[in-house]
Structure 1
Amino acid sequence: MDKKFLNKVTNFFKKEGFYVILFVCLCIVATVAVLTAKSSKNANNALIQQQNTQAQDKAKKETAKGNNESSLNYDNALQVKKESKPQVVVPKSGTKSQSVSNSVSTSLSKPVEGSLARAYSEDPVYWDSTSSYRPNLGLDIKADIGKPVMAAMDGKVEEIDTATQDGMKIVINHQNGLKTVYSNLDQKVKVSKGQSVTKGTIIGIVGKTTLRSAYEKYGDHLHFEVLKGNDFVDPAKYVKY
């Protein structure tokens, strides 16, 4: 009987052996898959737990950093507030700023030797020559014909005009914001346009070329004006007669 049973088993495996082996293999694969899935799940759980721990640590660090920065900003704010107090700086004598200031002098020398005949006036005043009232935007300095007229300050000859109501005219730009104007000169001037001159340089002589004030009671004179920018100013602020 045992031999008979053994023959049946042998015949069974011969006929169904492939399927038996396939079943066994499937069981092995299924077992491995279950074990792998379980291991992967455990690994994922460990990774998630690790990430959560890192996130918590990072949050704690950022909170601490934020507190430190807030404290630092507060300290800086106090520091700025303390340092915002204006400081008064007293320049020392002989500093560069002082030397620059001194180099831009606005002191004028007398353009001609004489006496004051008519002062500067922005209000209209009476003129015998024209029997009218109008301002005098300069000084009329009484001086004889032929008296030398000199540059009141270093500068450059900007304009020479032979046909103005005030007669022959020279304009000198002193390149410090001031210009000086010399009118009623003789036609034969001593300088040319664009020429650089120094204070005291003779630029011409008193003439009799004015139409505006040719017949004033004070007679022959130099008409002298000062411009600051484009505005006429009283020359008496810079030169005394």
Structure 2
Amino acid sequence: MDNKKKDKVKDFFRKEGFYVALFFCLCIVATVAAVTMKSNKKVEQAKKPAQEFSLNVDNNDVSTEKQNAERVKSETETERVADATTAEDVNVAAGTTTEVKFTNPVEGTIAREFSYPKPKEMKDGSFRNIKGIDIETKVGTPVKSSAEGVVEVITNDVEEGSFIIITHANGIKTKYANLEKAILVKKGDKVTSETVIGKVGDSSKIFSNKDFGEHINIQVLNSKDEQMDPTKYFNYKA
């Protein structure tokens, strides 16, 4: 009996020993894996604050650089606006006397000086505002544009007769009155200082050639249609 029991025990260990060994091996592997995972987790936790700190530093740097860039851009745009505003101010202030170079549209001398807005006594005893200057010149004398520009108005009325208004680059306008009714340009035409726009006439009924002699009336207006002294723009002598 004893020998049989011993044989059974030996048979059991021969048959089941493999599984027992496998079980112990699995337990060892599981234990090692658990320990390794726990160790890795501690290492990752230790690294995480440093990474977060690094990311925070990078974000702050980017944010600071962005703010600096935006500030520089804003200051640059402000300077550009200031420069543009200054340029416009210079153009408006100085452009009326320097940006457009005027030439005398006809040859002649000043027969009647600019007095606007102060009224001047006429021969009949009445008082009128003298706009522009009258240049003494013969009827039929060709009249040129005083500078490059665009024909804005062509019309006729009792006081000034047939007249033309030309707008120039900086907003200043020149007006030529007491012309012949046969105007040589059309509204919208681009003209230069060499363009003949009409001829001296006798179309004014208020300031007629009979009372004031043969003449052309020349006026200068600013961009707001306010009267300017033509003697500051043309080279005429009294």
Return the TM-score normalized by structure 1: 0.59
Partner Cα distance (1:179, 1:239) in 2: 13
Structure 2 gaps of 5+ residues are 80-94
Picking from 23, 26, 35, the partner of 2:28 is 35
Picking from 110, 116, 119, the partner of 2:114 is 119
Matched residue, 2:163: 169
Partner Cα distance (1:51, 1:195) in 2: 82
Return the TM-score normalized by structure 2: 0.59
Letter in 1 for 2:132: G
Shift, 1:51, TM fit: 2.1
Shift, 1:165, TM fit: 3.5
CA contact (8 A) 2:119 2:127 kept: yes
Give the alignment of 1:57-76 within 5 angstroms.
Answer: 58=51, 62=54
Partner Cα distance (2:221, 2:49) in 1: 78
2:175 is equivalent to residue 181 of structure 1:
yes
Please list the CA deviations of residues 183-239 of structure 1 after superposition, one character each: whole Å capped at 9, or x if unmatched: 111213344445444425443332222234338954443221123334332222211
Q: 2:217 aligns to what SS in structure 1?
A: strand
Q: 1:42 to 1:130 in 2, by over 3 A?
A: farther
Partner Cα distance (1:45, 1:8) in 2: 47
Please list the CA deviations of residues 86-108 of structure 1 after superposition, one character each: whole Å capped at 9, or x if unmatched: 9xxxxxxxxxxxxxx9xx85222
Partner Cα distance (1:40, 1:49) in 2: 14
Letter in 2 for 1:238: Y
Please list the CA deviations of residues 47-92 of structure 1 after superposition, one character each: whole Å capped at 9, or x if unmatched: 12432454466468x39x77xx69x98xx9xxx9xxx9x9xxxxxx
- Normalized per residue, the structure richer in helix is 2
- Give the RMSD, CA atoms, in angstroms: 4.5
Letter in 2 for 1:235: P
Structure 1 gaps of 5+ residues are 87-100
Picking from 131, 143, 157, the partner of 2:151 is 157
Letter in 1 for 2:169: Q
Letter in 1 for 2:29: T
Letter in 2 for 1:151: S
CA contact (8 A) 1:120 1:235 kept: no
2:234 is equivalent to residue 239 of structure 1:
yes
Give the alignment of 1:112-151 within 5 angstroms.
Answer: 112=106, 113-121=108-116, 123-126=117-120, 128=122, 135-151=129-145
Residues matched between the structures, number:
201
